Structure 1
Amino acid sequence: MENKKNHFSDWEQLVKKQLKTENIYEVLRKNNLEGVEVQPYYQSTNEYKPLPKAEESTHLVAEYQESVADQAFAVLLNQNVEHLQEKAIFINNPDLAEHIVTDETNRYFSLIDVFSDDQSAVIDEHLAGELLSKTFEKQICIDVSLHQNAGASVIQQLAFALGKTQELTEKYGSGILTKLIYRFAVGANYFMEIAKIRAFKYLFNQYAKEFDQDLIPYIFAETSLRNKAKYDQENNLIRSTLELASAMIAGADAVFCNNYKIENPSELSSEISFKQQIVLAYESIINVFEDATSGSYYVEDITRQFAEKAWKLFLKIEEDGGYLELLKSGKIQKMIYEQAVKEQQWVEEGKIKVIGVNLYPKLDVKKSVSDLYNIKEIKKVRWAEMFE
């Protein structure tokens, strides 16, 4: 311990000399929109116990098309496809809930959320009943990908996921917890997105223990649309590669890459998007690790902060009536709106840099914040829309 203190003191003195200031922490502090403290130097942290994945290795999910059917073990279905065998199938279309043709050699997971996203604030009980009657491995999805794409903070996403879980638990009992799959969109802030997925594992595990269950959440992670642009669309490949990497490293059970082409997507661009995952997994094997960042002081610390702050917000949501009640009153929408506008302002000011959009831009045409966002609506908004 004494050696650590001496080393830390030596580091501080060296930095003070280099920066020519006594107030080094003020100079080195890096602001962020997530409400967490990021230190310039870590000497220790309280490590959380590493939590495993539900799957042995992360599924690389492809949107179904014949050109990748043989290469993809896991497929995303928006329409019914027969004669699939020995696949992990993620059902993405509510219309398939009743009509999907199952094969006993396949594994089935529902990505269908039964919550409304508007101020009607209801659970579709008919749809939920239909899904719960299926022999899928996971029948109901808690989807917070929309919240991320609408501009919600990490802490908000985590708290909303717990809030929606609580609503289902109250309606269907704690047995519902084994039937859930969680859908997250993974954004551009690499290490914080790793911490987001790690934090949710701890949060869900803690929540389940309230009902005497020791459970690990099944996490489906997809690339975000929020930081993608219409111009120089190949840049979107770089952005989504980093997002996929952070999801795999964090221990997501399945990952999916949205088409990198915002305009004029094709079967080829869909195939290229999927094959990013193959390159990442097969060249670096990052899809097999359970918790690759365990022991990283920085990631451990922001994981802890996310978990603590999200749990606190979740409790506040419950105290105020619950997720659906706050959605009905417009408070959830307002929370996301305020966060999204701050984030968009950082993009406009260049604090968040997006190549070809606000860094080396081709066009100077802009839309205002009021053109993009609505305080009463949760909707997907890309940063670049302000400049397109």
Structure 2
Amino acid sequence: MTEHSAAINAEEAQAEWRRLVETALKGRSFESLVSQTADGIAIQPLYDKAEPSRRALPRRTGPWRVVEIVDHPDTAAALAAVLEARNGGAGGISLALRGSISARGFGLPSDHLAAILEQIDLTRLPLRLDLPPGFAREMFAIIHRLLARHPGGGAGIDLDLGLDPIGDFARSGREEALIPSADLGRHVAGLKALGLDSPILRADGRVHHEAGASEAEELAAVLATALSHLRALESAGLELEVARQRLGFLLVADADQFLATAKFRALRLLWAEIEAACGLAPRSVRLDAETAWRMTSRRDPWVNLLRNTMAAAAAAFGGADAVAVLPHTAPLGLADPFARRTARNIQIILRDESQLWRVADPAGGAGGIEALTDELCDKAWTLFQEIEASGGMAAMLKTGAWQVRVAATRARREKAIATRTQPLVGTSVFPLLDETAVAVLAPAPPEPSPEEASELAMRPHRLAEPFERLRDRADRFRQRTGREPTIFLAAIGRPADFTARANFAAALLAAGGIRLVGEAGHDDAEAVVAGFAASGADGACLCASDADYASGTLATDVARALREKGCGLLLAVAPPKVHQEHLGAASLDELLHAGLDAVALLSRLHERIGVGS
């Protein structure tokens, strides 16, 4: 077969596929299958096989490193956790100091860092530090003393110091977190003289991701930060070849597997462009991954295990050199040994049992991921150039322009979360009202109020928080009154006709901690009213098929009878068009339908029921 005839056959096959798809859509447009990322990149339902248009640089030649985060505030307990992690299969430790981005209200006190470093064999266990803003001077002094006493200095030690002054400024909003180039260069040169070849400066995407950044925004911020670090070291007198070896990168991996994989691949390609523009021969970079804090949920936290598995696999497919998985209980508090072991074992199963590391670039040639990689590169590069034109990352943060941009992206995503067009399993869809509490060593401390933070600070958030606040209110109502808020299912007709809508209503109400009670369908208003009276519910919800709503006056009769029986809160499950045509006389308080703002609706229901704030 010639190339020409093969191309014709491929076009005919795709045309036939398109025809079959349009038939299956039953009147919906083909474009309804196309989704959009936060950066406006179209996700097509089908891609052709692709030859990699931009080859990723050589990456790790063996398995990625399994990293465990140790954030216990007690030094002895932290050391025990390090030992347990190492014996349990971790190949590296991320040590979180109090006030660092991964400490989440816990973390080792900064003045204990020297003591714990003295008790860890750094030649046998790679260590990554997560530092609080403003701790650079003390950290450099501690590491200088440590290496000066260590036989051979820094030779043979893998110690990633994780210093990101620009990221610290973004987190705190305080310019004093920035470090003068001369001081930075002096410290880096001093550590190099002691033989430390590990990364010292980090371009960290977590602060941007947790504040709401899109994939392209996170990439652009990391690139601009890394370039600022490179310039600072060069201006302090270090050669570029030496300076780039002191840089490390950290990106966030979330549960959108294809997009996360494309993001990691894009980072290597984009940084290679920058290195080439600096007159350097591109070489592989140190690229770490951490699963997303933003995607975790406090409700039904077992779903976090699934999210973390997808995220860890995405980072591995994208070529991360090391991956840290957050414990599934992290949003609830300090993880216990079981949660930390589970986080560790997710990676061990993916790496050692599933052998995901065996293929150097698993996504290479996959049309969808190659296309996403290229489009992310284009979007991120354009945004990176905008940052550079504004004077660099620090300059853009000082004006607040970057914070405004990321906040706009966050607001668009929050709208999608509220309307459940971006569903959160276990939180906004398929919520579990009767969940069992999970164990933590200590509950999460209250988050600082916005008034305590600088106006320029990029505040972290989790996607599930609006629904979690609703559930918390419902829990307090139950504790205060001894009962849970309930709505009675005023179902009309046969179960086959109303069950789908009843399930929709039950899940929607449960997302706010409200239980839908009652199951049977009814054929007359008296039976519905009797069921409502016996339930003691706070309101009722009409539920029927479009045909039953349209046939006769039963729905409006039921509504009128419920009102007469004292029902002060009346809902219905129906499309807006059906409500307009057939339920106008029912005098409903709320209409439940796909696409509504669930957070706003549930907040109004809480107010009507008396759940409180």
TM score, norm. by length of structure 2: 0.58
* Cα offset, 1:235, TM superposition: 1.7
* Cα offset, 1:303, TM superposition: 0.4
**1:133 partner SS:** helix
**Residue 367 of structure 1: aligned partner:** none
Change beyond 3 A, Cα 1:348–1:88: same
Q: Distance in 1 between matches of 2:176 and 2:358?
A: 38
Match of 1:278 among 348, 354, 362: 348
TM score, norm. by length of structure 1: 0.90
**Residue 160 of structure 1: aligned partner:** 221
Change beyond 3 A, Cα 1:127–1:272: farther
Change beyond 3 A, Cα 1:27–1:218: same
Instruction: Determine which structure has the larger helix proportion and give its number.
Output: 2
Does the aligned pair in 1 maintain the 2:265–2:373 contact within 8 Å? Answer: yes
**Residue 129 of structure 2: aligned partner:** 91
**Residue 263 of structure 1: aligned partner:** 332
Deviation track 1:5-56 (CA, whole Å, cap 9, x = no partner) reads 22222222222333345x8432322233231122222224452224321463
Q: Which moved more, 1:98-107 or 1:178-187?
A: 98-107
Q: Distance in 2 between matches of 1:226 and 1:267?
A: 23
Question: 1:309-328 counterparts in 2 under 5 A?
Answer: 309-328=379-398
Change beyond 3 A, Cα 1:329–1:285: same
Matched residue type, 2:412: K
Q: Distance in 2 between matches of 1:10 and 1:43?
A: 15
Q: Distance in 2 between matches of 1:202 and 1:54?
A: 15
**Residue 457 of structure 2: aligned partner:** 377
Question: 1:1-388 counterparts in 2 under 5 A?
Answer: 1-21=7-27, 24-45=29-50, 47=52, 48-54=54-60, 56-64=62-70, 65=81, 66-70=83-87, 71-78=89-96, 79=113, 80-81=116-117, 82-84=119-121, 85-93=123-131, 94=135, 96-100=139-143, 101=146, 104-115=155-166, 116-117=169-170, 118=173, 120=175, 123-125=178-180, 126=183, 129-134=186-191, 135-173=196-234, 174-175=240-241, 176-213=243-280, 214-261=282-329, 262-264=331-333, 265-361=335-431, 376-388=456-468
Matched residue type, 2:317: I
Deviation track 1:184-208 (CA, whole Å, cap 9, x = no partner) reads 1112211100000001110011111
Q: Distance in 2 between matches of 1:54 and 1:178?
A: 16
* Cα offset, 1:219, TM superposition: 0.7
Change beyond 3 A, Cα 1:362–1:10: closer
Deviation track 1:124-155 (CA, whole Å, cap 9, x = no partner) reads 23466434532142111111111111110000
Q: Which moved more, 1:159-168 or 1:31-40?
A: 31-40
Does the aligned pair in 2 maintain the 1:142–1:182 contact within 8 Å? Answer: yes
Does the aligned pair in 2 maintain the 1:121–1:324 contact within 8 Å? Answer: no
Q: CA RMSD in A?
A: 2.6
Q: Distance in 2 between matches of 1:68 and 1:321?
A: 43
* Cα offset, 1:122, TM superposition: 6.1
Does the aligned pair in 2 maintain the 1:61–1:73 contact within 8 Å? Answer: yes
Matched residue type, 1:234: W
User: Which runs of 5 or more structure 2 residues have no equivalent in the other structure?
Assistant: 1-6, 71-80, 97-112, 235-239, 434-448, 469-613
Change beyond 3 A, Cα 1:30–1:371: farther
Q: Distance in 2 between matches of 1:90 and 1:338?
A: 32
- Determine what percentage of the aligned residue pairs are the same residue: 22
Q: Which has the higher contact order (CA 8 A, sep 6+)?
A: 1
**2:301 partner SS:** coil
Does the aligned pair in 1 maintain the 2:185–2:232 contact within 8 Å? Answer: no
User: Which runs of 5 or more structure 1 residues have no equivalent in the other structure?
Assistant: 364-369
Q: Distance in 2 between matches of 1:96 and 1:267?
A: 28
Q: Which moved more, 1:237-246 or 1:103-112?
A: 103-112
**1:62 partner SS:** strand
Change beyond 3 A, Cα 1:169–1:42: same
Does the aligned pair in 2 maintain the 1:334–1:376 contact within 8 Å? Answer: no
Deviation track 1:192-234 (CA, whole Å, cap 9, x = no partner) reads 0000000111001111111222122211100111111112222
Change beyond 3 A, Cα 1:299–1:244: same
* Cα offset, 1:158, TM superposition: 0.8
Change beyond 3 A, Cα 1:304–1:374: farther
Does the aligned pair in 2 maintain the 1:201–1:217 contact within 8 Å? Answer: yes
* Cα offset, 1:275, TM superposition: 2.0
